[in-house]
Amino acid sequence: MFSKACEYAIRATVFIASESEKGNRVSLKQIAREIDSPEAFTAKTLQKLSRSGIITSTKGAHGGFHVLPEKMTEIKVSQIVVAIDGDTVYKRCSLGLSDCSEEHPCPFHSRFKPVRTGLQEIVENTNLKDLTSGLISGETFLKV
């Protein structure tokens, strides 16, 4: 449902946030390695996330990417999705038909609408703290 760029952005943000909770800032190289993404692609993704205020970039010897602790519960996954993919994931037809609508539905329209609505509810009600707690405890993983 999400673009590859959005998937990588979510993974990168969750990794950065989990390291931030431990008091660490992470480098581009660390992030790219952890989410198994090319550095140049990861850099562009991180730039979008930084411009959107989701992550913070600090330059210098002790610099790197991090998420401010007070923002962990404020930042919703939906903000990451919108920063990378826009809101089309909530509006787009499952078959990619530009003219699919309530008045002119595609064959999947009625079946896909509850899935799309459910996805929107999940990402709007899930914050970074929700996702990092499993990583920190070892119950969840970003790569196997």
* Confidence at residue 103, expressed as pLDDT on a 0 to 100 scale: 85
pTM over 0.95: no
pLDDT at 144: 55
Mean pLDDT computed over 37-65: 94
**Per-residue pLDDT tens digits for 89-114:** 777 777 777 777 788 888 888 888 88
Fold of the CATH domain 4-137: Arc Repressor Mutant, subunit A (1.10.10)
Q: Name the token pair of 116.
A: 């799309």
- Place 24 in a pLDDT band, splitting at 50, 70 and 90: very high
Report residue 121: phi and psi, to 5°: -65, -40
Any idea which residue has 């923002």 for tokens?
A: 71
Q: Is the pLDDT of residue 73 over 90?
A: yes
Average predicted confidence (pLDDT) for the chain: 90
Give the per-residue SS3 of 12-43: HHHHHHHHHHCCCCECHHHHHHHHCCCHHHHH
Residues 6+ apart with CB under 8 A from 14: 128, 131, 132, 135, 142
